[in-house]
C-alpha cells in the first residue's frame, strides 16, 4: 500500500514543480488586469513599427496579434488582401504589433521573439515574409523556428544568437506592444485599430471579414482631406 500511494504523490508533486517553473519563467513585465481601456491611447505609428505598405499612408490599420492564435491566422489573410487592394494607391497600410497571450498560449512568446529577431537581423521585408510563414504553418513547433528563419534569408548563427539573447534584445519591444494593447482595452486577439488623421480611431475586436474591413477602411478614406 505504501509504495502504490507514493508513486501518484510523486507524480503530482512533479507536476506542481514543473508548473511553478513555467510560471516563474514567464516574464511579468505587464499587468494583465482587464479594463474598459481607451482606443485613443494606441501608441502613435513610427518608423520603428513593422509596416506593410506606405509608411506615410493616411489610414493605418494597427493590428495586435498572437502567432499562436487561429483567428489571427485567418485575419492575417484578410488584412494582407486589404493592403493588396485598398493599399495599392499608398493610402492604406498595415502595422503589426505583438500581443502574445502568454497565459493561454505557451508558444506565443517564443514565436514573437523569433519574429522580432528576424526583423532585427534582416529587416522589415523579411519580417513580413516570416510572420506569414508563422501563420501559414500554424501551429509552429519552436524547434523549427531556425529553419523558417533560414527560408527568409536569416543565417542560422545570426538567428540563434539573437534568439538566445531575446530577453535582453527584443522582449522589451514585445512587452511594450502587449502593454499598449491591454491599455487600449484589448482582451483577446486579433485586436485592431484603424487610425485616420483628424478622425476618431475605429476598433475591430476579432477577425472581421474582408467586406467588413473594406467598409470600415472606405469610411476612413472618406474622412481623409
Fold of 33-222: Glutaredoxin (3.40.30)
**Residue 73 pLDDT:** 97
Domain boundaries of the chain, sorted by first residue: 33-222
**Residue 225 pLDDT:** 80
Residue 120 three-state SS: helix
**Residue 37 pLDDT:** 64
Angle subtended by helix axes 124-136 and 108-122, to nearest 10: 150
**Residue 39 pLDDT:** 85
Digit-by-digit pLDDT tens for the chain (225 residues) are: 444 434 343 333 333 333 333 333 333 333 333 344 688 899 999 999 999 999 999 999 999 999 999 999 999 999 999 999 999 999 999 999 999 999 999 999 999 999 999 999 999 999 999 999 999 999 999 999 999 999 999 988 999 999 999 999 999 999 999 999 999 999 999 999 999 988 999 999 999 999 999 999 999 999 998
Strand arrangement, sheet containing 59-65: 50-52, 92-98, 59-65, 191-196, 202-205
- Could you tell me whether strands 50-52 and 92-98 are parallel, antiparallel, or unpaired per DSSP bridges? antiparallel
How many Å from the N-terminal Cα to the C-terminal Cα in the chain?
81
Amino acid at each position: 500500500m505504501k509504495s502504490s500511494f507514493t508513486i501518484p504523490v510523486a507524480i503530482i508533486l512533479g507536476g506542481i514543480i514543473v508548473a511553478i517553473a513555467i510560471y516563474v519563467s514567464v516574464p511579468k513585465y505587464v499587468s494583465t488586469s482587464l479594463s474598459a481601456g481607451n482606443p485613443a491611447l494606441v501608441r502613435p505609428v513610427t518608423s520603428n513599427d513593422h509596416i506593410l505598405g506606405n509608411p506615410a499612408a493616411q489610414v493605418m490599420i494597427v493590428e495586435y496579434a498572437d502567432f499562436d492564435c487561429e483567428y489571427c491566422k485567418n485575419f492575417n489573410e484578410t488584412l494582407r488582401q486589404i493592403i493588396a487592394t485598398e493599399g495599392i494607391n499608398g493610402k492604406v497600410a498595415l502595422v503589426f504589433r505583438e500581443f502574445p497571450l502568454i497565459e493561454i498560449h505557451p508558444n506565443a512568446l517564443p514565436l514573437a521573439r523569433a519574429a522580432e529577431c528576424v526583423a532585427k537581423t534582416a529587416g522589415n521585408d523579411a519580417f513580413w515574409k516570416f510572420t506569414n510563414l508563422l501563420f501559414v504553418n500554424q501551429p509552429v513547433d519552436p524547434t523549427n523556428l531556425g529553419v523558417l528563419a533560414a527560408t527568409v534569408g536569416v543565417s542560422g548563427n545570426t538567428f540563434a544568437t539573437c534568439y538566445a539573447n531575446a530577453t535582453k534584445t527584443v522582449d522589451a519591444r514585445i512587452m511594450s506592444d502587449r502593454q499598449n494593447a491591454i491599455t487600449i482595452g484589448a482582451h483577446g486577439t486579433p485586436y485592431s485599430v484603424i487610425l485616420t488623421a483628424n478622425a476618431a480611431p475605429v476598433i475591430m475586436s476579432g477577425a472581421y471579414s474582408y467586406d467588413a474591413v473594406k467598409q470600415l477602411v472606405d469610411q476612413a478614406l472618406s474622412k481623409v482631406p
